[in-house]
Amino acid sequence: MLFVNSSSAYTIERWKGYLKSRFIKIAPTTTHRYVAYTAMGGAVGSFLGFGEVIARKSLYSSGLAITMLTMLAPIASLSTLWWARLLVGRSQRNLILLVGTTGMAAMASGFFLTRIEHLLLIYLIFFSFVNGLYGQAENRILQQHISPNARGKTFGFGQAMAQGFGALVSASAGFYMDKVPAGYQHLFLASALLGLMSMAMLASIRTTTGTYEEREHLDRKFLLSPLLNMYRLLQKRPDFLRFEISFMLYGTAFMMVLPVVPLYLVDDLKFSYSQIGMARGMVTQLVMIAGVPFFGRIFDRTTPHRMAVFVFAALSIYPLALLAALPLDGVWRSAAVYFAYAWFGLSMSGLTVIWSLSSMRFSAGEDSGIFQSVHVAATSLRACYAPLLGFVVMHYFGKVTTLFAASGVWLLASASVYFMRRLDHKSGDYQSLRAKY
């Protein structure tokens, strides 16, 4: 039998207290875990951004197939309507684990990718499951754990980390795919493993089940209720409807260029994987590292409409800057493209903040997930026509005309936000959108 005197017992208790206090100090907080999740998710998203380029350079896909690929992700995100309803009254942890594992398994199958049909299937599963659910879960975490006046700052810091990791992945992946035959297959598997780690971090953050509405049962009503709720919300909040109309114009321009830019970079500018990775990935994301936190702080002090007017107008310069690279050669051509993507990164910094946080500002004390699901559903709607519109204009009038047209639509979106907000005030549908909400 061991004998422990009072002095030894006191010493043990002191050590236990010390270790406990140190553990509590170093244990990751919700903010730390949220930032780690966004950082790893940013790396995964950066590789997925190569999808259209892989389809063209390695799978030798047609322009129409690439257009279908650009349409697939946002259309699949329509599932967010049902994920938002499924989360109401339920713990999101088990759903994250189930859905995330399914999506990452689909991505891991890219290790065997050789055909465009397989790539389309990967994107369909990943964006229907992972993107559809994670956005709702992330909004709920920000709403429940972060104070209203600090959400923009917290979101901005998380996105800065995501862009930092994404920039590293974009540059590395581009060089790797240039050097290693079928290197994209290896990177699909690596991204799936990183995605599993990101999923585990997100699932570790506890949230309450919510008391906004009763839990919905998985029946026929469940299939129709998100659409009915979306209609009722837009009917009840005409100011939110008008904001979404302006956002629809922005998204139309954004999706018009999705099938055009990869073909322009590969076929017209003759860019390699590494050059595209540096431009679309590293340059854009390095700018966003500083840009998103900056715009996050601005968002905490202003309204979504004011930011959107300037951000949409700024985006109109991006396609024009890309076109300026065409008559140039060598290092000057690369420099022009890098400038275009640096400007794009700055503009998208503001857009990322507006896209992710404006729903919380509109929702005030209501469940922001429902507002955000409408926001995402609108993306799916415009994905049904905007990329095809860009493809048709490109087919009949060329890439240059398409890029000019997209620039014009972005300017129209900027003007629309301004006049829609004036209509809010004039009609009496004005809602305060200060940071206190």
- The reported pLDDT for the residue numbered 289 is 83
Domain-embedded: residue 215: no
pLDDT band at 179 (very low <50, low <70, confident <90, very high): very high
> What is the pLDDT at residue 11?
52
Q: In whole angstroms, what is the distance from residue 91 CA to residue 145 CA?
A: 15
Residue 434 banded pLDDT, cuts 50, 70, 90: low
**Residue closest to 383 by CA, chosen among 155, 123, 50:** 123
How confident is the model at residue 210, as a pLDDT? 53
Cα separation of 419 and 417, whole Å?
6
Q: What is the model's pLDDT at position 130?
A: 84
Q: What is the mean pLDDT of residues 140-160?
A: 76
pLDDT-derived band at 217, boundaries 50, 70, 90? low
Query: The whole model's pTM is what?
Result: 0.79
Res. 342: pLDDT tops 90: yes
Domain count, the chain: 1
pLDDT (mean) for 43-50: 90
Here the contacts of 117-121 (C-beta below 8 Å, separation 24 or greater) are 119/51, 119/54, 119/55, 119/59, 119/69, 120/68, 120/69, 120/72
Q: Considering only 12-26, 254-268, 345-359, which range has the smallest mean pLDDT?
A: 12-26
Domain-embedded: residue 176: yes
pLDDT digits (tens, 9 = 90+) for 61-74: 999 999 999 998 88
Q: Looking at the domain assignment, is residue 144 inside a domain?
A: yes
Q: What is the average pLDDT across 431-436?
A: 64
Residue 187 confidence (pLDDT): 96
Asked if the structure places residue 8 within a domain, the reply is: no
In what helix (H) or strand (E) does residue 74 lie, and over which residues does it extend?
Answer: helix 63-76
Q: How far is CA 284 from the centre of its chain?
A: 14
For residue 13, name the pLDDT band (cuts at 50, 70, 90).
low
In a domain, 255, yes or no: yes
Query: What CATH number should be reported for the domain holding residue 332?
Result: 1.20.1250.20
Q: Over range 274-300, report the average pLDDT.
A: 88
DSSP annotation string for 246-265: HHHHHHHHHHHSTTHHHHII
Q: Tell whether the model's pLDDT for residue 314 goes beyond 90.
A: yes
Query: What string of DSSP letters covers 312-357?
Result: HHHHTHHHHHHHTTTT--HHHHHHHHHHHHHHHHHHHHHHHHHHHH
| Higher-scoring residue by pLDDT: 241, 9 | 241
The predicted model gives 344-349 an average pLDDT of 94
Is residue 217 situated within a structural domain?
no
In a domain, 377, yes or no: yes
Residue 220 lies in a domain: no
Which has more pLDDT, 26 or 252?
252
Per-residue confidence band for 359, with pLDDT thresholds at 50, 70 and 90: confident
How far apart (Å, rounded) are the C-alpha atoms in residues 203 and 206?
7
The tens digit of pLDDT for each residue in 189-202 reads 999 999 999 888 88
3-state secondary structure at position 92: helix
Nearest CA-CA partner of 177 in 277, 304, 305? 277
Above pLDDT 90, what percent of the chain? 46
pLDDT surpassing 60 at residue 4: no
Q: Is the pLDDT of residue 26 over 80?
A: no
Whole domain around residue 299: which residue ranges? 31-205+226-427
Residue position matching structure tokens 């890309």: 322
